[in-house]
Structure 1
Amino acid sequence: MVELGAALRSYTVDGRPVLHGFDADDRITGGRGQILVPWPNRVGAGRYRWHGEDLQLPLSEPEHGNAIHGLLRWTSWQVVESDTARAVCETDLWPQPGYPFHLRIRAEYALHDTGLEVALTARNAGGQVAPYGVGQHPYLTVGTGTVDDVVLTVPADTWLRTDDSGLPVAEESVAGTPYDFRAPRSIGATRLDTPFGSLVRDGRGRAVVRLAHPSGEHGADLWLGEGAEYLQIYSGDTLPEPQRRLALAVEPMSCPPNAFVDGTSIVALEPGARHTMRWGITPWHG
């Protein structure tokens, strides 16, 4: 973890990288490990209406005319707790043009025998009801060189068809599409920058995305727990070389793209109220 944006920098188990992260002195590119608050993904044209007020966010994805991935990726967070297996960072999201609300954000990373667990909590520290969403942008690797040979399982019954700006235009069944990974199969040449919904959960209430090495001998499960209702998977096709298709971004999200505009799964965070999203990674050996 780093203080810049409280981004998740690296995770290695038994000498094998689980995350395709970055070195301590590297610039963060491609959203690598970043926390996405107070919205994940995109807001079309950066414009939305909240409680009768029209608001305009900075267009941080100018090539598509969108506001992307929130407002805290390039801010300093403070480490408030740490030991060998746990780190907690906090920061304030202050009222500003386009988002006139005050949130206190807490990111907790904890290592257990079973893997890494992450809890992202927002508290409304202001006096107005605030629109809120959250996500995170880790890239996972199972050591295949590129994502083409990764055997992927995604427990989602629907995908969101998007336009050229990455904004959803319809939610459709994955059945019969290139985005049906309900049964494990290799990614191959499939290009993914795809939101998924209707997540199927296990008895613990978790939706588990599995990445497996083609040998079947090892892999990693990314689970989505409380507050994580949607998922974005990105195969890195638009990243600059040599990063292209080296790792798979598996992004837990509380809401889908453009939720500030259409209201889908947006949290109306009352003054003093809290929202938590939990997710984690469980590496495994066959």
Structure 2
Amino acid sequence: MTSLKITDPETGSFAHILPELGFNCYQFQAMVDGQCIDVIDSLPEFEQGKQRPSSSGIPILFPFPNRIANAQYKWEGVTYELPPEKTYHDKTGNAIHGFCLDLPWRVIAQEESFAIAQFQLSIDGKHRLKYWPGDIFIEVKYEVKGATLRADIRVGNPGTTTVPWGLGTHPYFKAPLSAESNRKHCLVEAPASEEWVLEECLPTGVKKTIGEAHDLREGAWLDQLNLDHVLSGMPEETDQYESLIMDEQAGLVLTQDYDSLFSELVVFTPDNRDCVCLEPYTCVTNAINLTRQEAETGLRVLPPGSEIKTWIEIRAGKVIV
């Protein structure tokens, strides 16, 4: 596979992206006061396409994030089944992580510090179009500026019928942030005050006050976390949220800011890897099958010809004391 490189000319910070594999930004190295911080974790040979598309970098999950239970849902009276030979599945038979993380995107613009690519279901995923209620597209602009990697995102409906959608990203953040540090010195923070009750990774449709073992509001040490949970209950009356990893021994902090459209946050601590996933979602896992529940799932619907814009920023910096 051929990677695409974008660079901030003033600082030398850079990112590598794989347009052929879901426009996955699998490397971001940020320069902070002359120090190079390796931000994104990727498995060996990921850039050669020899690992799972969801295993590294920043997979983009669209038009649904995480799972659809039993790879089946009903929309406006029509039942849709997503077969494993045509769509991405987990080991237990759920459709997972959308339609575009394992397929090529079209790069429509590129300059030194940014690149823009699109994925439209009817163009780039024709074999999956019949498994969604209508055509839909996503456009992502990645830009490196200083020690920040920014994603500006546009989602649109080019068709003639209303279309449901959800969006998530699945970034693997390195932790610790320095070879001289350790996981036990890394503090993970996120503002969620609630969590979804899960059964085999699927929400039951009920939310509860966040449990002590999952509460990251005051920070929790990474080596003490064992998470694959969907957090919710973000602060109200704000237009953006923040989650972060603070490596106290290294004196470094990694911040992820994102639009309040991302109302849910999946936190995942992969086994036997020095990383943590802080995944902003616009809707909860399996939202399309939870529409009759009283809890707000975040699932959205786009009218024909309409679009919506959102954003995420990842920034490396020094701990300010």
Match of 1:136 among 164, 169, 183: 169
TM-score (norm 2): 0.80
Paired-residue identity, %: 21
Q: Is the 8 A contact 2:139 2:153 kept in 1?
A: yes
Partner residue, 1:241: none
Residues 50-73 of structure 1 show CA distances to partners (whole Å, capped at 9, x for unaligned) of 112111123433522211000111
Partner residue, 1:157: 193
Partner residue, 1:25: 48
What CA distance in whole angstroms lies between the structure 2 residues aligned with 1:38 and 1:135? Answer: 9
Q: How many residues matched?
A: 277
Partner residue, 1:187: 222
Q: CA deviation at 1:147?
A: 4.5
Q: CA deviation at 1:246?
A: 1.7
Partner residue, 1:119: 152
Q: CA deviation at 1:24?
A: 3.6
23-32 vs 153-162, greater mean Cα deviation: 23-32
Greater gyration radius? 2
What CA distance in whole angstroms lies between the structure 2 residues aligned with 1:216 and 1:208? Answer: 21
Partner residue, 1:37: 62
Q: Is the 8 A contact 2:196 2:208 kept in 1?
A: yes
More helix by share: 2
Q: Is the 8 A contact 1:11 1:17 kept in 2?
A: yes
Indicate yes or no: 2:96 matched with 1:68. Answer: yes
Q: Is the 8 A contact 1:147 1:248 kept in 2?
A: no
Structure-2 change in CA distance of 1:105 and 1:150 (3 Å): same
Q: Is the 8 A contact 2:30 2:147 kept in 1?
A: no
Q: Is the 8 A contact 2:241 2:260 kept in 1?
A: no
Amino acid at match of 1:194: H
Structure-2 change in CA distance of 1:266 and 1:10 (3 Å): same
Structure-2 change in CA distance of 1:283 and 1:132 (3 Å): same
Q: CA deviation at 1:202?
A: 8.4
Q: Is the 8 A contact 2:67 2:285 kept in 1?
A: yes
Residues 255-276 of structure 1 show CA distances to partners (whole Å, capped at 9, x for unaligned) of 0101010132111111111123
Match of 1:196 among 228, 231, 247: 231
Residues 75-101 of structure 1 show CA distances to partners (whole Å, capped at 9, x for unaligned) of 111111111211100121126232141
Structure-2 change in CA distance of 1:62 and 1:87 (3 Å): closer
Structure-2 change in CA distance of 1:45 and 1:144 (3 Å): farther
Amino acid at match of 1:227: L
What CA distance in whole angstroms lies between the structure 1 residues aligned with 2:196 and 2:119? Answer: 32
Structure 1 outlier segments of 4+, above 6 Å: none
What CA distance in whole angstroms lies between the structure 2 residues aligned with 1:148 and 1:54? Answer: 47
Query: In structure 2, the residue corresponding to 1:38 is in which secondary structure?
Result: coil
Amino acid at match of 2:173: L
What CA distance in whole angstroms lies between the structure 2 residues aligned with 1:281 and 1:163? Answer: 31
Amino acid at match of 1:129: T
Amino acid at match of 1:8: C
Q: Tell me, which stretches of 5 or more residues in structure 2 are unaligned?
A: 1-16, 123-127, 292-296
Q: CA deviation at 1:114?
A: 5.4
Partner residue, 2:14: none
What CA distance in whole angstroms lies between the structure 1 residues aligned with 2:178 and 2:89? Answer: 30
Q: Tell me, which stretches of 5 or more residues in structure 1 are unaligned?
A: 238-243
Partner residue, 1:58: 83
RMSD between aligned residues:
2.1
Q: Is the 8 A contact 2:178 2:250 kept in 1?
A: no
